[in-house]
Amino acid sequence: MISFEAVNIQWLFFLLAAATFSVLGVLFPNWFKELGNPRPHNGLKLFNECLARHQFGYFTFFCALYLAASFDPKRTWIRNLNWFAIALSLGFYGYGLFSSARLDRKISKNHTCQKDTECEVAFPFRFRLRLSLLNIFFALVSLVGGVFLALLVKP
Ligand SMILES: [Zn+2]
């Protein structure tokens, strides 16, 4: 059922490219914006924005799989799983953007700092992890689903 043929490796590379370009699309504008207008705790915010936006790469990947990949026709559950993955990645993307927008409020509940300046205060690892945990979980679910579906493509 799962195979590691050339076509599967190609789909894995496409998955890697889709996720990477989505992340780069967030990083580059942020780095340029930071030069002139730094925001406090940019690292934590940027990390969560990257996790959210890279879900759109998964959305692209799952749509491409649905349109171009061939699966075992006897296993109809794979197509259903593909549909589910499309919907899930869109949901993860939406929630990720929402949680990124709420991050300012969550940070300001625990800590106040001036706007539009860098803040020297480093949050504890557990606090940063707590704020990012759901986005990390979504990223892992999408990664497992994407790799699994890529390996199910029929050579
Ligand atoms: Zn601060």
The pLDDT assigned to 36 comes to 86
The pLDDT assigned to 50 comes to 97
The pLDDT assigned to 83 comes to 97
Q: Tell me the CA–centroid distance for residue 131 and ligand 1, in Å.
A: 15
The pLDDT assigned to 12 comes to 98
The pLDDT assigned to 72 comes to 95
Grouping H, G, I as helix, E, B as strand and the rest as coil, residue 24 is: helix
Q: What predicted TM-score, i.e. pTM, was given to this entire model? A: 0.91
Taking 50 as the pLDDT cut, the residues of the chain under it are: none
**Straight-line distance from the first to the last Cα atom of the chain, in angstroms, rounded to the nearest whole number:** 10
User: Taking a C-beta distance cutoff of 8 angstroms, is the pair 137, 48 a contact?
Assistant: no
Torsion of CA 88, 90, 95, 96, to 10 degrees: 110
The pLDDT assigned to 82 comes to 97
The pLDDT assigned to 146 comes to 98
Instruction: From 103, 13, 105, select the one nearest 52 (Cα to Cα).
Output: 103
Q: Tell me the CA–centroid distance for residue 115 and ligand 1, in Å.
A: 9
Q: Tell me the CA–centroid distance for residue 16 and ligand 1, in Å.
A: 34
Q: How many CB atoms lie within 10 A of CB 32?
A: 10
The residues whose Cβ lies within 5 A of ligand 1, an ion, are 40, 113, 119, 121
The pLDDT assigned to 69 comes to 97
The pLDDT assigned to 59 comes to 97
User: Taking a C-beta distance cutoff of 8 angstroms, is the pair 154, 8 a contact?
Assistant: no
Q: The tokens of 70 are what?
A: 């061939």
Q: Tell me the CA–centroid distance for residue 31 and ligand 1, in Å.
A: 19
Q: Tell me the CA–centroid distance for residue 126 and ligand 1, in Å.
A: 16
